[in-house]
Amino acid sequence: MINILAWSLFALGIGHIIYGLVKFREPITEAVAEGFVNKFKSPEVRRTALWFLMFGFLLMFAGNTAIHAVTNADLPLLRLVGFYLFATSLVGLAALPKSPFLVGAILSPLLIAASYGLF
């Protein structure tokens, strides 16, 4: 179970990137066609697309960290990942109540509980 939770966080990052590439296909394609470098300043949708994609990579990184923690039985590290995800999810839900931050808000307490050996 604990391994599935860690991999779920990694998968959430991959899903975030795939969804971002689909949702923001047009602004990303335009920025790439214009040379990519320094092409995300404006319009605002390009900045949004870039940050949305970058957040996906950060979720993958957090997932990799959680996988590493589980593999090496480093429960304090897993707990840390869970608390950071929980804080990020709460802020995200407060800012955007109708958003997928709910997934993180559900996953993070499970990671924290697992880090205390409850699974």
Which tens digit of pLDDT belongs to each residue from 105-115? 999 999 999 99
Q: How far apart are alpha carbons 87 and 90 in whole angstroms?
A: 5
As for how many domains the chain has, the answer is 1
Show the domain range for 77.
Answer: 2-115
- Look at the pTM and tell me if it is higher than 0.95: no
Distance CA 112, CA 2 (A): 10
pLDDT tens across 75-99, in order?
999 999 999 999 999 999 999 998 8
Cα dist from 106 to 38, 51, 73, whole Å: 36, 23, 22
Banded model confidence at residue 100, pLDDT cuts 50, 70, 90: confident
Angle between the 44-71 and 2-23 helix axes, to the nearest 10 degrees?
Answer: 160
Cα-only R_g, the chain:
16
Look at residue 102 in the predicted model and tell me its pLDDT: 94
